[in-house]
Amino acid sequence: MVLTQVRKNMEKLTSLISETNALLDPSYTPERKERKPRAAGTGTAGRRGRPRKEAAAE
């Protein structure tokens, strides 16, 4: 029982190590993500973030 768990974990570990070796290979180039263009704004969206302070409130 314990040996089967150890064997499964070792298989997972060896597969992860092989993936890491593939990533560290100098010829590895990551795939470019396809990015969607931003939606066109209508101009009435308002301002984001914290509102500006008013004149010095004394």
Instruction: Please state the domain count of the chain.
Output: 1
pLDDT digit string (tens) for the chain, length 58 residues: 899 999 999 999 999 999 999 888 888 888 888 988 887 765 555 678 888 888 665 5
50 within some domain: no
Q: What is the pLDDT of residue 39?
A: 75
8 within some domain: yes
Evaluate if pTM is beyond 0.85. Answer: no
Longest dimension (CA), the chain: 75
48 within some domain: no
What is 17-47 written as a DSSP string? HHHHHHHHSTT--PPPPP-PPPPPP-S-S--
Q: What is the pLDDT of residue 31?
A: 85
